[in-house]
Chain A
Amino acid sequence: MRLVVRAAEVLDADRLIPITGAHVDSCLYHGEATLDFAGRLVAGGAQVSVPTTLNVGALDLLHPELWHGDLRTAERGRLLMERYRALGCRPTYTCAPYQLPEARPRLGEQVAWAESNAIVFCNAVLGARTNRYGDFTDIACAITGRVPDAGLHRTEARRARLVLRMAADLPAALFDDDAFYPVLGIVLGRRAGSVVATLDGLPANQSEDRLKAIGAAAASSGSVAMFHAVGSTPEAPTLAAALQDHDPDAIGEISFAELRHARDELTVAAEGASLRGVALGTPHASLTELTRILDLLASDRVAPGVELMVSTARDILDSAQAVGIADRLRGAGVSLLVDTCSYIAPVLRDGDGAVMTDSGKWAYYAPGNIGAAVVFGSTAECVASAVAGRVVRLPSAWDAA
């Protein structure tokens, strides 16, 4: 409770309000401090007071053989994941709790979520309300069942202050390219920083997977906790609704040149680098995305010497198993990783060569985290590359002059 009250002071809140659920990121091991903190909570007999899901941990508990790092770190990581389970959290171990039907808060519901991509999805796509909670605060809110009445918990803070319009020079075909959405997210994060922005000019009714890709990238390049997309997100049926009938503080345009530059920057590997791996599923792949990867593979197999790893949630893997997708993916040479992510855990085989990804977030963090030389491409390019054993570029809307 001391931490929640401290949070209220930092946020200038004058009262606490109840929450209906929480998503806790603190279960990812970042050194002994994280275990010391959880150990103190467990020793004190703490239990969460609201339904609480857990974010990814340091390792895949169901497939420990995928771990190539040192065993002590694996053990400490596992112990931390168990400590949060002991506090009463559900062992979901996913960065995409919103893909689990029973963990999706409804429009207007007050919750405390951590994990930057989940925070954005919760606010933007579900219309449920959370601030950008971090490690320690997340579990403190889950235990007390309270959050400070401030920031994005309040309607007025959710209105867009910045309008970002798609410029007229964007080729219409770009909107059909799945690589457009993470790149748009990178630009959104840079332009918006921590300001609530609304995207205007996208085709309406964007899928959750695309909105997920925008949000995850925006929360990597910026401190974005919420955005609107006119015609797609629930608090933005119209531009006026996103603005809550106020004037925006600023209006900007996103040009094709800016997007192309952002897309090119996501690739840090040298031109012509060999390919050692392909990492998909950041944030954790949905069942729809797993199905799409299988469709893209058609009857092909992953090339020898290349690893195609897809990260997902253990609950999604169960569903994929039930409909036969998981076995078919594995049969085509795909590794399926759960409970963690391939840019956090040492799971990709070492070796020379680049790792290709379709995720703006993965591309953003992997060079620093695991020293990977990243090539960014669309999901189709990633799968084609995994099959060919080298980086493959497909003709796309990005080629337009």
Chain B
Amino acid sequence: MSSAVRSLLAIAVLGASAQAAWSQGLRDRDAAIRGLLARAQGLATEIARQDSVVRREQHRERLATRFDAGAVTVILPVSVGNATGRRFAAGAFQLLDSAGVIPWPFVQSRIVVAYAATGVDSVVRAERLERRSRIMADISAAPDSLADGLLAAAVLGNAYLATLDGEWRAWLPGDMAIGWSMRREGTGAARELMAGETRAGARCLGGSVADCRLWLGLDRDSGESRYQPAEIRRVLTSRWGTWVGRGLIGECQAGSDDACEKLVREGRWLQAIPAGPVSRGSLLNAVCRLHGSEALRRALADTSGSVGERLARGTHLSEDSLVAEWRSWLLTGGGQSPVTADLRDAVPAVLVAALLLLAAARSGRWR
């Protein structure tokens, strides 16, 4: 076989192989495309199914359910679930009951309604709750916001606050300090007092009852007496650093005492009462714990005089005695006395030791 024939044969064999390879490649690509199409169809089906689930859930969100616990009624989205809803309402009732500040008739005449719940009107009609006022609350279906009913209790506290006179409204914390606990808020209140941001606070910590009244804003005095100009400058500096503001802020920072006092009077840049809401809540809680919630209810029903005078009348104490009592209560973590070693401690300790000694003497391993 000549070399030309061999070359031709080789070319023919190569051509046939290339053709076969090309055909095989096309077949593989088709199979891959078919596989991809099948997967895309599968995904589209899954997306449609998920969409339908979401739509169903959204539809459920629009429905509302009523939950009751004691005097508390809340309307929540149906998606919340019965157990969670009942627990939420019970938590709110428990908090209001332990706070004991808000009169039950007020609570019974209201319904707390979650914004997320729709179809509320039909629920209200069906449950014959038309005569009750609705209080809208930003309660979501998230488990965190439904943990203990604190939100519902705070919302009711806020609504009750709105019914009180201007003196109380200006002084009381927004949530009426419902849910206030010594372990959480008590530590914060004590720290705020101890931080000594104002001279009144520092002197109150030192034991001056008159300064405690100033710090808590209990008297009908002007805001200027509660702050020193230098303290106002310090607060401004701590808030904005060395940046010099315009107008009154700038003048105050530049050293004008008049401007600083005007700032306090305006009440926009500095809270009129040095004690924050948590610390003021501590006074409400001290009154409840030491004199019963009835004392606080009496004070809240009182509409004459300053907040301090009202609380003093409610507790049947002088204002100074009440404030001194509060200071001691707060700084000792709820009335725990400092370290003691009196007869009351000694008797059980010695008795326990004696009993154990007697037990050890009467029975033993080598008897």
Pairing of A with B? no
